[in-house]
Structure 1
Amino acid sequence: MNIAVAFSGYDSVKERILDPSIGELSFSTYTWGNDENGNPFNGGGVLKSHPCTRDELNLEDNSVDPKFYKAHESSWGNLNYFWKKFDCIDTEGLSINGDFNTASAQQLKVQLKKCTGRPDCKTDEEIIQFMKGKLIMIMLNQVRFDDEKFGSQAVIQ
């Protein structure tokens, strides 16, 4: 599973816009269920990330080690334009499963953590003003299958 996340505005700015004086994007998991002895548990962990490369996002015709399938033509233009804003989440060993009604689950949390406790942090009013017209874009691999075909021919990318 591969996931990339970008913080952006409804504008034409290609570079990252989230200043640390506003906050930072944070990626983590939240997990619950029963251990091998039947005892309930919950917890989670922080996921590391790094700025995505064009190769990872599969934006080049000759990408060597892409992490994503080619973007659909209706999405490719935005991805190609805003690619510098994307962080690739290090997802080795990550699985996302279950929901709030299942006995066990693991969820992905994408949070914007507000800057606090530092002298350069913006005021609440400045942060609220900055957040107007902003969005979080999420890219992930979605593999679908044609149920009338078999093997690799069944994969729809």
Structure 2
Amino acid sequence: MAKSKKTTQQYLATNNKARYNYAIGATYDAGMALTGTEIKSVRAGQITIADGFVQIRHGEAWLDNVNIAPYAQGNQFNHEPLRPRRLLLHKREIQQLERSSSEAGVTIVPLKVYINHGFAKVLIGVGTGKRRFDKRETIKRRDQDRDLQRKFKGSVR
């Protein structure tokens, strides 16, 4: 009998500020076109996506302003840390992203980076910017949920 594989997602990088600063609508899983030393750095968790964003240029999706640290054992073949990286999406998905990003106040941001079957993937989300009172509401709701969890944790046996 064959063993069943458990698919536990381990995120290498998360963008915690994205859901705080943006109201995320649709999300897409995209592959990243990386060079040899870049994938080694990503697997080591040496990636920062906090300031990243996605742009659609000439019918292709590009991930900009994402820092992948140079690989420690790489020598002259190392990569540029902040170079734009192409995202691998279906044409239909790129067209949907292009339509939504053309609206005012809409930004496409990376949410999480993970490895799936040996390939580096990025979860991107289409977000509209939140205003200050929306951010306060998010904090208030999070605190209320935390208080409820504390109350229920003590009462459940």
Q: TM-score, normalised by structure 2?
A: 0.25
Structure whose residues are more often helix by fraction: 2
Higher relative contact order (CA 8 A, sep 6+): 1
Q: TM-score, normalised by structure 1?
A: 0.25
